[in-house]
Structure 1
Amino acid sequence: MGTRSAEVNGYTKGTAPPPSPPPPPPSASRLAPKGGAAALRRALRHFFRRNLLVVLTVSGVLLGAALGMAVRRAELSRAQVTYLAFPGEMLLRMLKMVILPLVVCSLVSGAASLDTRSLGRLGGVAVSYFLVTTLVASCIGVVLAFIIKPGVGAGRLNTNGLLGLENVSSHKDTTDSFLDLARNLFPANLVAAAFRSYATDYKFVAVGNVSNGSLVYQKVPVGTEAEGMNILGLVLFAMVFGVALRKLGPEGEDLIRFFNAFNDTTMVLVSWIMWYVPFGIMFLVGSKIVEMEDVVLLVSSLGKYIFASILGHLIHGGIVLPLIYFGLTRKNPFTFLSGLIAPFTTAFATCSSSATLPSMMRCIEENNGVDKRISRFILPIGATVNMDGAAIFQCVAAVFIAQLNNTELNAGQIFTILVTATASSVGAAGIPAGGIITIAIILEAIGLPTHDLSLMLAVDWIVDRTTTVVNVEGDALGAGILHHINEKEMKKQKLQQEEGAELADVRVEAVANVQAEEETSPLVTHRKQTSDSTANMLEEKIDMESAL
């Protein structure tokens, strides 16, 4: 009985059962591919779910190129090409529709959310970054133009009509261009600034004595209104208005919340529009390929100009800007840029920094985690004044036209090109072919004719795409740099506050210990006891004397 009770499942207590033989291992040839395939499917599913919009946008560009090459053989009429471009036109109209509320509300809310000290510090860093990167871009353009010599061998295009383009009319003087820039900074009418900007025109006025025939016509500048949003004036007003709201304190909080809500609502609209981008981009690219005249002739004749411009964009966007970002943040710039593929694709397809702004703000906040206060402050300003890509091709174009006219540029003219390209890129409109207009300012400054700008227009649809990508890349990396600086400053302030709080606690504890020591000091207690006993003895003596 005892033996049976000491047995458990046929084995005596204290003795372990013999180990069971291990099961045969599964066939590696069967399970490894199956597990690897499942993991690959999960990874692909996760990738497409996370980057669906990026994949669709890039696919839209590729499908648009294929569509354009296929339809090009049909030799469509101009009306049919217009119909083909209609979905792309609708995309541009939707993106431009949200530019005004997005720029104004984001700048007001961004400036109002930053204290004056932080706003001044970040503003100074932003201005320095914009100036340095644009000046470096101008230097790259000039150096590449002198090395590659794009104007040598292209002189025959100056005399024949191979391009089928009319000469560009003469533009306004350089002085008037910069005066218009200053006037547009302070618009006389904010409502009109939403769709018009100030532009100087000229009229010829007769000066002299008509009777004796000494009549001379003098060119007089006249102020006119040009179609197009005055983005510079709106940006400056929104920034100052946001700072003023911050100064109001509690009285301005309701209005700040209004602009924040307005901006968030606009971003919701942007997120909806972004799902139409792949479809619209496909027809934008396809219609542009159909519109091309003789691509082989243009590329063979102006190939060195196109190559110099695009090479400058690759150097600046692929080497210089990432190095600046890495030097200031010690972070991988390409990891940062990998989250912005959709805005870069939009910039490539639309050729518009302003139209890319909604997509850039959404992706840089959601994918890269940039503080909304920083992105809403720097990106609208960058889309207006930071034009690194434009500075590169403007300098290449200026040297190209000089070589085309067999003009040797001296050191003074080269310096003028650098300074004028850097300054004029600030006022360049963030629209397709906007940089062509500012090339005229550079040509006027160095005394070169402007009628050769028709050559630039012939291939601008190629160069302008990489130009816009570099422009928006500079804005994005600038936002990343400001975000890093702001985070570093906030951590420093938090550390100082924690150290100050610890010192305050130490002071409070020291004072409490001193007070406790005084209250519990044996010397003080002894004195109290001695004084109390002396008082009691005096009172007893007085009572005895009064009794006698």
Structure 2
Amino acid sequence: MDGIPSSPTKSSPDGLEMSSDSNLEIEVSEQSFILQLIKDNLLLVVTLTGVVCGTISGLILRNYQPSEDSILIISYPGEIFMRILKLIILPLVVSSLISCSASLNAKLNGKIAVKTLSYFVLTSFFNSCLGIILALLIHPGNQESKTTLELEKDKKIINVLDNFLDIGRNMFPDNIFQAFFQQTHTVYVPVKPLNKNDTLNNNTDFDNTNSESSFKMMRTLHPRDGSNNIGIIISCLVFGTVLGTIQPSTGEPVINFFRCIYEVVMKIMSGIMWLTPIGICSVICGKILSVNDLGIVIAQLGWFVFTVVIGLIIYQFIALQLLYFIIIRRNPFKFYWDLAPAMLTAFATASTAAALPVTFQCMDEKLKIDQRISRFILPIGCSINMDGTALFLSSATIFISQLNSMTLSASEIITVSLVSTAASMSSASVPSAALVLMLMMLTSIGCPVEDVSLLFAVDWLVDRCRTVNNMLGDCYASAIIEHYSRDELTAGERLPLHQEETKEAIKKNIQIMDQLC
């Protein structure tokens, strides 16, 4: 009986000690897990901190009405960051496209290209239809928005045919070196019409005293600043595909040269990445400070912004995730989370091309997407896959038609969906390119083109949101095309070996024939 009460008294302190030790171990393990999570996603954490700091700083500093020089100084680090990103875009695109297309045979390149273009067309058309449906349901357009905000008259001549012809001209540049910094663009210049008193030498002189009606607008081709991305991409794909068909002894050194360039650029990018928080903070803060009448703009065009953002959210969080899960059968949100640094960079820079180096790093290091696919699809997607832009164009066209109390027929709505799909795929991967395309959209259905100036007030925000969708569309396309091309990629890895064996067999047969002869 004496041992009965003594047993719990001795075991009780041991139990308490074991319980406290286990609790301590749990706390230590939780702390180590959190620290490891922060360490693994340190760049994402500091980048997100830069976004938050830039937004808060911009909203606070607006109350002090800083001067233009102050805003310029605040935006200066962001400007330098953007210039650095743009500096490495072309070497990255050229080296990645040539090296990846040369590593695949021509037949496989063709199959992947067809799958990629089909995917891009379908997703762009889906976004165009989504933008139309949301604009018709929410009805963001009203006369108050048009009368309250000041309109800027735009007398620029827009021709739908010229835009599509310019695409073809830029696809096949006449000077590959000029394509790196200029693209062909159709413009209309006033030319004095010929009459009996004019001579051939004075036709180019302009009489400013005459009215505009005395001049004839003549179509001319002028170079426009900005890299011709689509021409560079097609040239690199053709060069790389042909390079992969020549003898390895001749072509392999060239392929290794471009592979080396790609590795060097990515190594430089790994250091530049740590400047992202400062650059993003500066860009966002400066942009918020430079917007005039921010509250009035949001109040008057809030429903339009709401319509576009809702459409982008539906596509980003529902459509893409379902598509990824149904096809690949994996957790789509894990894929989405690993792209967070690229999304923040795309949001801050408002350019898919500027975010391309960060996107490459996420796809290669975190998501482990086959580099032959990511190097092939991402540069192409930067130029022709504009899912967010397609949604913006269709919804903005419906919005402006509602401002002017226009009721679009079924055929006009179909025209909007088709033209917005085609226009989005012809847009450049530069900030606010969609506003230029809006002129073509409105011309196709007879809407007043001067109302496009309303969209300038909110495009700085909407442009960033749709750029994120454009970038995500490229990344999800890479994962889906890789899934569908897995067998071809596996076979493609064995193809060079088969080619070498075939060449050796041919050489042996030739030697045998020489001996027999």
TM-score, length of structure 1 as denominator length: 0.82
* Corresponding letter in the other structure for 2:303: K
Kept in 1, the 8 Å contact 2:157–2:188? The answer is: no
User: Shift of the alpha carbon at 1:264?
Assistant: 0.8
Match of 1:193, as an amino acid? A
Change (3 A) 1:46 1:423: same
Correspondence 1:84 to 2:84: no
1:287-306 Cα offsets, whole Å, 9 max, x none, are 11111222221112111110
Greater shift after overlay, 217-226 or 486-495? 486-495
Find the counterpart in structure 1 of residue 443 from structure 2.
444
CA distance in 2, matches of 1:306, 1:481: 30
What residue number does 2:427 align with? 428
SS in 2 for 1:408: coil
Contact 1:208 1:216 in 2 (8 A): no
Aligned-partner residue type, residue 119 of structure 1: N
Q: Deviations over 1:315-349 (max 9, x none)?
A: 11111122222222222221111111000011111
Letter in 2 for 1:74: Y
- What is the Cα deviation at residue 204 of structure 1? 3.1
Identify the residue that residue 9 of structure 1 maps to in structure 2: none
CA distance in structure 1 between the aligned counterparts of 2:289 and 2:327, rounded to whole angstroms? 44
| 2:166 maps to which of 158, 177, 180 | 180
- How is 1:213-224 mapped onto 2 (pairs within 5 angstroms)? 217-224=215-222
C-alpha distance in 2, partners of 1:440/1:128? 26
Q: By how many angstroms is 1:211 displaced? A: 6.7
What is the DSSP-based 3-state SS (H/G/I as helix, E as strand, rest coil) of the residue aligned with 2:186? strand
Q: Secondary structure at the match of 1:98?
A: helix
Deviations 1:70-116 (A, max 9, x none): 22222111121011100110111010001110111100011111122
Deviation at 1:217, TM superposition (A): 4.3
Asked if 2 retains the 8 angstrom alpha-carbon contact of 1:170 and 1:451, the reply is no
Question: What corresponds to 2:140 in structure 1?
Answer: 150
CA deviations 1:39-83 (Å, max 9, x no partner) are 012111211111100111001000111211222222111121011
Equivalent residues of 2:166, 2:184 under 8 A apart? yes
Q: One-letter code of the match for 2:353?
A: S
How many angstroms apart in 2 are the aligned matches of 1:318 and 1:461?
Answer: 22
Determine the structure 2 residue equivalent to 1:228. 226
- Residue of structure 1 in register with 2:23 after alignment: 33
User: Which runs of structure 2 are paired with 1:242-253 in the superposition (5 Å)?
Assistant: 242-250=240-248, 251-253=250-252
1: CA distance between counterparts of 2:21 and 2:99?
56
Q: Helix, strand or coil for the counterpart of 1:233?
A: helix
Is the 2:350–2:467 contact (alpha carbons within 8 Å) kept by the matching residues of 1?
Answer: yes
Matched, 1:113 2:103: yes
Distance verdict in 2 for CA 1:112–1:459, change over 3 Å: same
What residue in structure 2 maps to residue 15 of structure 1? none
Contact 2:105 2:245 in 1 (8 A): no
1:98 to 79, 88, 97: 88
Task: Please give the per-residue CA displacement for 1:246-285, whole angstroms capped at 9, x wherever unaligned.
Answer: 1113121110000000111111111111110011101111
Structure whose alpha-carbon radius of gyration is higher: 1
1:464-523 per-position Cα deviation (integer Å, ceiling 9, x unaligned): 11101100000000011122223344568999xxxxxxxxxxxxxxxxxxxxxxxxxxxx
**Partners of 1:41 and 1:159 in 2: how far apart?**
57
TM-score (norm 2): 0.87
Distance 1:493 1:285, change over 3 A: closer
DSSP-derived class of the 1:451 partner:
helix
Q: Structure 2: which 5+ runs fail to align?
A: 1-9, 199-212, 495-517
Q: Secondary structure at the match of 1:354?
A: coil
| 1:333-367 deviations in Å (ceiling 9; x for gaps) | 21111111000011111111000100001111100
- SS of the residue corresponding to residue 106 of structure 1 reads helix
Cα deviation digits, residues 130-158 of structure 1 (max 9, x gap): 0000000000001111111111x2x2343
On the 8 A contact 1:170/1:450 being kept in 2, the answer is no
**Aligned residues between the structures:** 470
Q: 1:168 Cα deviation (Å)? A: 3.5
The RMSD of aligned alpha carbons is 2.2
- Residues 219 and 362 of structure 1: CA distance in aligned 2, closer, same or farther (over 3 Å): same
What letter corresponds to residue 180 of structure 2 in structure 1? A
Matches within 5 A, 1:152-171: 153=142, 155-160=143-148, 162-163=149-150, 166-171=152-157
Matched, 1:465 2:453: no
1:173 counterpart letter in structure 2? N
Q: One-letter code of the match for 1:476?
A: C
The partner residue of 1:48 within 28, 31, 38 is: 38
Between the aligned partners of 1:318 and 1:170, the Cα distance in structure 2 is 38
Is 1:410 aligned to 2:400, yes or no?
A: no
Query: 5 Å matches for 1:33-432?
Result: 33-151=23-141, 153=142, 155-160=143-148, 162-163=149-150, 166-207=152-193, 209-210=195-196, 217-250=215-248, 251-432=250-431
Asked if 2 retains the 8 angstrom alpha-carbon contact of 1:171 and 1:440, the reply is no
Separation in 2, partners of 1:217, 1:416? 33
Give the aligned partner of residue 531 of structure 1.
none
Q: Residue 283 of structure 1 aligns to a residue in which SS?
A: helix
State how far apart, in whole Å, the 2-side matches of 1:297 and 1:417 are: 29
> Which consecutive residues of structure 1, in runs of 5 or more, have no partner in the other structure?
1-20, 496-548
- What is the deviation of 1:209? 4.4
Contact 2:108 2:488 in 1 (8 A): no
- SS of structure 1 residue aligned to 2:317: helix
What percentage of aligned pairs have identical amino acids?
Answer: 36
- Post-superposition Cα deviations, 1:205-250, rounded to whole Å, max 9, x if no partner, equal 34464579xx964332100011111111001101001001011131
Cross-structure match for 1:8? none
Deviation sequence 1:362-391 (CA, Å, 0-9, x none): 111100010111110000001110000001
Instruction: Give, in whole Å, the separation in 1 of the partners of 2:276 and 2:408.
Output: 44
CA contact (8 A) 1:347 1:353 kept: yes
* Alpha-carbon distance between aligned partners in 1 of 2:435 and 2:306, rounded to the nearest angstrom: 17
Distance 1:271 1:323 in 2: 32
**1:117 & 1:455 partners in 2: Cα distance?**
48
How far apart, CA to CA, are the structure 2 residues paired with 1:482 and 1:134? 16
2:156 and 2:410 map into 1 onto residues whose CA distance is 25
Q: Give the secondary-structure state (helix, strand or coil) at the position aligned to 2:292.
A: coil
Q: 1:197, 1:319 → 2: CA distance?
A: 37
Equivalence for 2:5: none
- Structure-2 separation of matches of 1:493 and 1:350: 37
Q: Distance in 1 between matches of 2:95 and 2:137?
A: 45
Give the superposition deviation at 1:449.
Answer: 1.7
Alpha-carbon distance in 2 for matches of 1:492, 1:196: 39
Q: CA offsets, 1:407-465, max 9 Å, x none? A: 11112211111111111111211111111111111111112121111111100011111
Q: Which structure exhibits the higher relative contact order, with contacts defined as CA atoms closer than 8 Å and separated by 6 or more residues?
A: 2
- Contact persistence 1:371–1:483 (CA under 8 A): yes
Task: Return the alpha-carbon distance in structure 2 between the equivalents of residues 431 and 203 of structure 1.
Answer: 25
